[in-house]
Every structure is written in C-alpha cells, then in structure tokens.
Amino acid sequence: MLEGNVRGLQHIGLPVTDIARSTDFYTRLGFRVAMETELEDPQGAIQVKMLELNGLVLELYQLAGPDLEGIRQRGDGHIDHVALDVLDVDRAFEELRAAGVTPLEDAPVFLPFWDKGVRYFNVHGPDGERVEFNERLR
C-alpha cells in the first residue's frame, strides 16, 4: 500500500486563534513565511500561512466564526493533522481505498496553495488523528 508514493512529511497543520501573533512567534524561532493566502468560507475568510524552516513546513490557519471559537476552547492537542507528501494523490486515494482505508473526502480536493495548487485528502488514523495525503502540483 502506497509503496514508492509517499515522499516524506509534507506539513503539520496548526489551527491558530491569532495568525499574526503565531506568525510572529514562529518567525522569531527562525521560520519564514513561504506562502500565504485567504480562502472564502460561509463563516468568513480563512487565513492560511505556510511557514518553512530547513524543510519543515507548518501550515498555520485561522478559521472564522464558530469554528474559531472551537479552536479557542481546546486545551492541549492543537495540532490538527499531519500531511504526507505524495507523488500521485489519485494513486494514493485508490490504493488506500483498495486496502480498506476509507478517505474522509469523496475524491482528492484542490486548494489554490503555492504556485499551482495542491490536491489532498484525509483519512483517520487508529486513534482518530487525521493523516493528510498531499500532492503539490508543479
């Protein structure tokens, strides 16, 4: 299953309550802003920043409305997902389904991240953690 398709860690997704404050914190640790965008959502704009340090990428994102309040109410455990970098997201999707792992999305999803976008999908791990399979389009 997924042999030769997973290249390594793609990014770690971290929901934040104040993206400017979090960006300041991580840039003081040596990260640099590698990409930023805003996504439209019925509850309001979702702000996203990818920060990079020596190949490690953190995806900081600030939700809006009730979703943001839900993040504020969390205690420990703010990391939302771990994303694996894949060569072919469609192949990963089909291989996981064939192995009996049910993706959370009906098909890989496109997001307008980086220069040409990404396609991704998620699965739940054994304890409910989300594992994302992400292909950066080039």
Q: Is residue 42 part of a domain?
A: yes
Report the CATH number at residue 118: 3.10.180.10
Confirm if 105 and 121 have CB atoms less than 8 A apart: yes
Q: Structure pTM?
A: 0.71
Q: Is residue 130 part of a domain?
A: yes
- The residues near 82 (Cβ < 8 Å, ≥ 6 apart) are 9, 12, 13, 129, 130, 131, 132
3-class state of residue 70 by DSSP = helix
Q: Is residue 1 part of a domain?
A: no
Q: Is residue 14 part of a domain?
A: yes
| pLDDT of res. 111 | 95
Q: Is residue 111 part of a domain?
A: yes
- Domain, as residue range, for 69: 6-136
**Beta partners for residue 12, in sequence order:** 58, 82
Q: What is the pLDDT along the chain (138 residues), one digit of tens a residue?
A: 888 999 999 999 988 888 999 999 899 988 999 999 999 989 899 999 999 999 999 999 998 888 888 778 776 667 778 888 999 999 999 999 999 999 999 999 999 999 999 999 999 876 577 889 999 999
The total of structural domains in the chain comes to 1
Angstrom distance (rounded) from CA 22 to CA 6: 29
